[in-house]
């Protein structure tokens, strides 16, 4: 099968960010399919399309500047620039099927046009409950834009051959509007082979991690974007209750970085109980999980965000790191059912901190949670198991 894999924010393992699309594209190529990933390069400026052979498939890059620090209008421009250029590009490519993954929702437009012109089906992957999230946040407040966003969502769902959602809560949201299209749940996956690797002790980055760990009995850490929805202030607030025995580390980058550092200074936790580090790639992430003790995933107290399937959660399962979250939803239910971590209030209290401290310093509870976390990574959220589900969906009605 010739497959076009359309993902605006595709990342290679050497880059920061999630590699779901890379891992699935590689496996599809290994299964004998001809895969072309169409994506954007957000950092480098160049003309035309760059074609890169990568692990059995091709990646077609177009230069579209984008950063989490961009305002709404500039983000919108990036979305529409990519969809315009991608629509033209994929119309020149031969394929049997499209696999289109959001966000942003605007990637549905090239898929809809391709289906209309080329008469080829597409499978649509929903990574966020969009547009509910930006509407709930007030990021989209123009009535015309809101109506267009919901119209586009329904159009994408109705015309898709199949819909892949990344969590049961997303599936529920999609089913309310999909008009009879089949919806399957394929969460983000745990790549266990990328974690618990030998630690290169001479690496300066490793020494920095170990220097932080030496200051505390245990360390709770966050990795990812510093965006508004990530609610990293809740981690800083939690750190403010510590006397230093439990340390906190926030790793990544984003538009909230300066404000978060100012907030940490206000609470007198910066560089003593709480530390900031720059973004890491997958190889470095293994060391982070090995040296530190508990991973976190935080969001704002908005119900639409509780459906998330954040990569950092499944990295924790792959590494066997206990998980700390501050919200309800399917992940909350999962943690409580498997006892693989803790759930605290969105606005943490001293009692929440005491619970975290007690958990981390109790060897039996901590060891049980670590085993439970790794167990989920090796079974329910194992990449190979989830790929098999995706492969079945994409190969439906295909001779291969």
Residue 362: which CATH number? 3.40.50.2000
Q: Report the pLDDT value the prediction gives residue 69, as an integer from 0 to 100.
A: 67
- Does 227 lie in the same domain as 92? no
Q: CA torsion 131→134→137→138, rounded to 10°?
A: -100
Same domain? For 202 and 289 the reply is yes
> Does 199 lie in the same domain as 158?
no
Q: Give domain status of residue 339, yes or no.
A: yes
The count of domains in the chain is 2
Task: Identify whether residues 333 and 352 lie together within a single domain.
Answer: yes
What does the pLDDT read at residue 400?
36
Which residue is listed with tokens 């498997």? 338
- In order, the DSSP letters of 296-334 are EE---S-GGGGG---HHHHHHHHHT--EEE---SHHHHH
| 50 and 176 together in one domain | yes
Measured CA to CA, the distance from residue 311 to residue 313 in angstroms comes to 5
Judgement on whether residues 149 and 11 belong to the same structural domain of the protein: yes
170 lies in some domain: yes
Q: Report the candidate in 140, 135, 156 with the shortest Cα–Cα distance to residue 6.
A: 156
Under 8 Å between Cβ of 341 and 335? yes
- Asked whether residue 51 is assigned to any structural domain, the reply reads yes
Tokens of 321: 């790191």
CB 29 within 8 A of CB 56: yes
**Do residues 198 and 169 share a domain?**
no
User: Do 283 and 262 fall into the same domain?
Assistant: yes
Q: What is the DSSP pairing of strand 57-63 with strand 34-41?
A: parallel
Terminal-residue alpha carbon distance, the chain: 7
For residue 23, give its domain range: 2-189+382-394
- Inter-axis angle of helices 363-378 and 350-361, to 10 degrees? 80
| Full pLDDT tens readout for the chain, 400 residues | 999 999 999 999 888 888 999 999 999 999 999 999 999 998 899 999 999 999 999 999 999 987 766 777 777 788 889 999 999 999 999 999 999 998 788 899 999 999 999 999 999 999 988 888 888 888 788 899 889 989 999 999 999 999 999 999 999 989 988 768 999 999 999 999 999 999 888 889 999 999 999 999 999 999 999 988 999 999 999 999 999 999 999 999 988 999 999 999 999 999 999 999 999 987 899 999 999 999 999 999 999 999 999 999 999 999 999 999 999 999 999 999 999 999 999 999 999 999 999 999 999 999 999 999 999 999 999 999 999 999 999 998 753 3
Sheet containing 122-126: give its strands across.
49-54, 57-63, 34-41, 2-7, 97-101, 122-126, 162-165, 183-185
Q: Is 400 among the domain residues?
A: no
Task: Please indicate, yes or no, if residue 346 is contained in any of the structural domains.
Answer: yes
Contact 9, 86 (CB under 8 A): no
| Residue 115 belongs to some domain of the structure | yes
Does 84 lie in the same domain as 19? yes
- Examine the domain organization and report whether 165 and 29 are in the same domain: yes
* pLDDT at residue number 399: 38
Q: 184 and 220 share a domain?
A: no
Mark whether 159 and 254 lie in a shared domain: no
Is residue 399 in some structural domain? no
Helices 311-319/282-291 angle, 10° precision: 60
């Amino acid at each position: 099968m010739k497959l076009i894999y359309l993902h605006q924010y595709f990342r290679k393992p050497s880059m920061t960010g999630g590699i779901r699309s890379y891992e699935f594209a590689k496996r599809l190529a290994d299964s004998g399919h001809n895969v072309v990933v169409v994506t954007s390069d957000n950092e480098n400026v160049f003309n035309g399309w760059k074609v890169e052979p990568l692990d059995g498939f091709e990646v077609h890059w177009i230069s579209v500047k984008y950063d989490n620090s961009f305002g709404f209008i500039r983000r919108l421009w990036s979305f529409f620039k990519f969809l315009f250029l991608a629509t033209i590009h994929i119309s020149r490519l031969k394929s049997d099927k499209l696999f289109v993954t959001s966000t942003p929702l605007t990637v549905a437009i090239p898929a809809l046009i391709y289906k209309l012109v080329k008469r080829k089906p597409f499978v649509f992957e929903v990574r966020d409950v969009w547009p509910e999230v930006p509407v709930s946040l007030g990021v989209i407040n123009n009535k015309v834009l809101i109506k267009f966003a919901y119209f586009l969502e329904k159009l994408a769902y109705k015309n898709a051959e199949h819909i892949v959602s990344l969590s049961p809560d997303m599936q529920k949201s999609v089913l309310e509007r999909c008009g009879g299209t089949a919806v399957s749940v394929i969460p983000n996956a745990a790549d266990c082979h990328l974690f618990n690797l030998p630690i290169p002790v001479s690496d300066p980055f490793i020494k920095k991690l170990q220097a932080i760990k030496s200051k505390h009995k245990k360390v709770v850490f966050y990795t990812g974007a510093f965006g508004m929805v990530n609610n990293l202030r809740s981690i800083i607030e939690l750190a403010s209750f510590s006397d230093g025995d439990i340390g906190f580390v926030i790793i990544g980058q984003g538009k909230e970085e300066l404000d978060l550092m100012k907030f940490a200074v206000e609470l007198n936790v910066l560089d003593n109980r709480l530390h900031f580090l720059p973004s890491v790639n997958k190889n470095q992430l293994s060391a982070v999980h090995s040296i530190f003790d508990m991973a976190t995933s935080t969001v704002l107290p908005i119900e639409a965000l509780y459906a998330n399937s954040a990569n950092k959660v499944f990295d924790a399962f792959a590494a066997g790191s206990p998980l700390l979250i501050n919200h309800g939803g399917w992940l909350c239910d999962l943690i409580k059912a498997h006892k693989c971590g803790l759930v605290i209030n969105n606005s943490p209290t001293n009692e929440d901190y005491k619970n975290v401290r007690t958990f981390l310093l109790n060897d039996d509870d901590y060891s049980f949670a670590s085993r439970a976390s790794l167990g989920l990574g090796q079974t329910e959220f194992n990449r190979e198991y989830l790929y098999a589900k995706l492969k079945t969906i994409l190969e439906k009605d295909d001779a291969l």
